[in-house]
Structure 1
C-alpha cells in the first residue's frame, strides 16, 4: 500500500497520480467486495506495507478500512511479510478489535467457534526470513475447517526472494483444508486438493506485475467442497504487448501495425486504463530508421497509442527487437560501413565477446542510481539479449552518421 513509484513522473503524460493512488483504490475495492459478499472473514497474507511509511496516513487509511469490516462483524487475520518486517512502525499500529495480527515467535491458532474454523499463522520477525516456518505450524484442530496463513516462496518463484522456503509437501502434509499464501505477486493455485493458493497482489505497480490483479474469493459448501475464484480488484492494468512488424518498409507502416492491434488490447481490459510496454519484433526494412533514434521512435509510438486510446492508454516503454531485412542490407555494399556491420554481426553471435562487453559495462552499470537498476530501465551487463538490442541501436546510429558524413 502506497508503495513509491520509481521515476514514472519524469515521463511526459504518464498517469502518475492515477497509479500513485491505485493501491488504495484497489484496497477499497477489496473491502467493498468483502462487504457485498458478506464474507465470514478476510485473510491478508503479508506485505501490507512497503517497509517504512512516508507518513502515518498510510496506516490511518488501513485502520479506516478495517473499521468498515469491523462494523459489519467481519474479522481479519493478518501475517506480516518481509516488507512489513522491514518497517519499525507497522507492528505498533493499534488495530481495531476485528484484526488479528499473528506474532512472529511461533505459529499461533485462532478459532471461530460459530463457523468451526481454525486459522493458523505466523508473521515474519525479520525481512530476510530463511527459516521453514511451515514446519512449525500446529496440527489441525479436529472437526474444524483449518486454514494456514503463510508468507512464503514455497520452493522458489522467479523474481521473488526465497523467504520462508518450504516444500509443497510441507503444506499439504499438515492436513489443513486450505492454504492462503503471500509473497508471490502473480495468482497461482499451487495444488487443488487441498487448495494451496497465491492470490497475488491486488494492484500491479510496474510492468513486472502485468495482467489481472485481485483477491481470491473462497466458498465452502456444507460438504466441504471448495470453490476458489480470482476476483479482479485493480484499477490500472499493466500490459506487455508484442507487435510483429515483419516486412514493414517504413516507420509509418510499423505504427499502423501497432494501431491495428491496440484496440483489441483496450477492449480486453476495458473499462480499466492500461499502461503498456510495447516490443516490436520481426525482420523489416524499417529497422535502421527505428533503431537510429530510439527516443524519437518512442515518442512516435506514444503519440500513435494516444490517437487510438486517448487517456485510456499510456506507453510505459518501447523495446525494439527487430532486425534488418535481408543479410548485409545494413552494410551498403562494403567499405567502412560494411566492415562495421560485419564486426557487430560477429559480436552479436559470439557469446564470449558479449560476456566481455558486459564486463566492460559492469562498472558503469553499478554507478547508475539504484532505482534505474531495480526497475530495469537500462540493459543489464549480464543480459546477452539486452546487449544485442543495444548493439542493434548502436549500429543503426553509427550507420546513419556515416551516411550523413558521406553525403
Structure 2
C-alpha cells in the first residue's frame, strides 16, 4: 500500500510582502501554489498511490472568485481518472471560508464532517481513515480525544489538523499531546497546520508534511509532501518528496573588512551563488542581510537605497530568473575600537551605544514612538515588515540606522560637502 500525506496547500494564497520593483516575479509567485499542487497530483499518479490525504488548509479562506474551486476540481478529477481517492479535512483557513464548504467534489473525494469524527473504510487495500474537519476557524478543543478506536484488521490512519502542544509561529489549534495520538493505537497519524516538515514520532509514525510551497520569507527551504509505503508486518516507511517550484531563503552576506561597494557586490554574488547551487534547479526568492564590521557601515546604513538597487541590478545581470531579491536589510556595524570624532559625533556614538545595550531602554523608547509608528504608511504598519514597538531588536536596528544617518549628515556639515 502506498499513499501521499500532504497539508497546508493554501491554494491561490495571496502574495505576501514582495517589494515591487522592475522584474519582480509577482505573477510567478501568485501561480506557485497551483504549480506545486500540480506536482503533487503528478507524483501521486506516477507513484500509483492508493489515496491522497490532505490534512487541512487546502484553501486560504474565501476565494477571490470561483476559478480557485474550478481549478481544484480539475486537478482532483485527474486523480479520480487514475483511480486515486482523496480524503480531506478542513483546517482553520478552510473553516473561515464560506465557498470552501459549498464546493461540490467529485466522487473520488471525501471531505470529513465538522460535526464529529468519522471513519471511512477502504477494502482494497484494507484501510480505515479517521478524521474530523474544523467547524470554525479557531478550534481549541482536543479533537483527537474523540477519535474512534482503531478498526481491527485494517491499517488505521488518523487525519488531524493540530499544532500538538504548540509550534512556534502557529496558533495552538486542536491541541493534544503526542501520547494522545500514540495511545490511540493507529498505524499512522497524518497531521497538518505546521508549515515545516517534521517527523514527530516513528513508532507509530506521526508526521507534519509541511506546506507544499513557501509563500513568504518565514517559509524558507524545500517544501513538499510525505510519501508513505506500508507493508504487512512492517512499520510504515516515510519519504519527504520536494514538490515546490520556488524557494525562499535568507542570505547573510558578511561585509567584515569590506572597503568598497564593488567588494560588497562581489561578496553578495558569491553568497547567492552558493544558495542557488544548493537549491538548483529551483529559482530562489532571497532576503539579503548584510552583517559584519565594516568602514562602510555609516554610508550604507544611513542611505541603504543605492546599495539595494545595486544588489538587485547585480542579481538580474548575473542570475536572471534564477534569483529574485525580496528585500535587503543592513545589520552592519562600525569596526570595534575605532573612536568617533570628538564633539557631537562622539556624544552621538556614546548615546547610541548606551541605548542599544539595554533591552529595557529600547522597549521604553518603542513605547514612546508607538503613536508615531501608527502614522507611518501602511507598508510599515502591516504584515511582515511592520514596525513593532515591543520588539527590542527591531528598535535597536532603527536606532543604529538613525545613528548612521545623523553621523553622516554631521560629517557633511562639518566638511561642507
State if a TM-score over 0.5 links the two structures. yes
Aligned-pair CA distance for 1:10: 2.7
Distance, in Å, in 1 between the alignment partners of 2:219 and 2:372 is: 28
Selected match of 1:317 from 312, 327, 334: 327
Q: Which residue of 2 aligns with 1:39?
A: 49
Distance, in Å, in 2 between the alignment partners of 1:138 and 1:373 is: 46
Which SS does the other structure have where 1:176 is aligned? Answer: coil
Listed one character per residue, the Cα deviations across residues 65-92 of structure 1 (whole Å, up to 9, x for unaligned) are 1100111111100000000000011111
Name the CA shift for 1:368/1:178 in 2 (closer, same or farther; >3 Å). farther
Which SS does the other structure have where 2:101 is aligned? Answer: coil
Q: Which residue of 1 aligns with 2:315?
A: 305
Distance, in Å, in 1 between the alignment partners of 2:14 and 2:378 is: 14
Selected match of 2:281 from 268, 271, 276: 271
Q: Which residue of 2 aligns with 1:399?
A: 407
Distance, in Å, in 1 between the alignment partners of 2:302 and 2:379 is: 27
Aligned-pair CA distance for 1:124: 0.3
Which SS does the other structure have where 2:98 is aligned? Answer: coil
Which SS does the other structure have where 1:215 is aligned? Answer: strand
- Runs of 5+ consecutive residues of structure 1 not aligned to the other structure: none
| 1:382 has 2:390 as partner | yes
Q: Which residue of 1 aligns with 2:5?
A: none
| 1:4 has 2:14 as partner | yes
| 1:189 has 2:189 as partner | no
| 1:250 has 2:245 as partner | no
Selected match of 1:75 from 61, 68, 85: 85
Q: Which residue of 1 aligns with 2:40?
A: 30
Aligned-pair CA distance for 1:9: 6.2
Distance, in Å, in 1 between the alignment partners of 2:234 and 2:374 is: 54
| 1:140 has 2:150 as partner | yes
Aligned-pair CA distance for 1:283: 1.2
Listed one character per residue, the Cα deviations across residues 311-355 of structure 1 (whole Å, up to 9, x for unaligned) are 2101111121211002344x22x1011111111111111222101
| 1:131 has 2:141 as partner | yes
Q: Which residue of 1 aligns with 2:168?
A: 158
Contact 2:90 2:133 in 1 (8 A): yes
Contact 1:153 1:160 in 2 (8 A): yes
Contact 2:379 2:386 in 1 (8 A): no
Distance, in Å, in 2 between the alignment partners of 1:400 and 1:372 is: 24
Name the CA shift for 1:203/1:386 in 2 (closer, same or farther; >3 Å). same
- Runs of 5+ consecutive residues of structure 2 not aligned to the other structure: 1-10
Aligned-pair CA distance for 1:369: 6.7
RCO higher in 1 or 2 (8 Å CA, sep ≥ 6)?
2
Q: Which residue of 1 aligns with 2:215?
A: 205
Structural RMSD (CA): 1.5
| 1:340 has 2:348 as partner | yes
Contact 1:259 1:304 in 2 (8 A): yes
TM-score by length of 1: 0.96
Name the CA shift for 1:13/1:345 in 2 (closer, same or farther; >3 Å). same
Counting matched residue pairs gives: 405
| 1:359 has 2:345 as partner | no
Aligned-pair CA distance for 1:216: 0.7
Distance, in Å, in 2 between the alignment partners of 1:95 and 1:54 is: 19
Name the CA shift for 1:202/1:370 in 2 (closer, same or farther; >3 Å). farther
Contact 2:167 2:194 in 1 (8 A): yes
Selected match of 2:126 from 116, 119, 128: 116
Contact 2:25 2:324 in 1 (8 A): yes
TM-score by length of 2: 0.94
Name the CA shift for 1:9/1:349 in 2 (closer, same or farther; >3 Å). closer
Which SS does the other structure have where 1:209 is aligned? Answer: coil
Contact 1:251 1:289 in 2 (8 A): no
Name the CA shift for 1:163/1:392 in 2 (closer, same or farther; >3 Å). same
Name the CA shift for 1:67/1:371 in 2 (closer, same or farther; >3 Å). farther
Q: Which residue of 2 aligns with 1:233?
A: 243
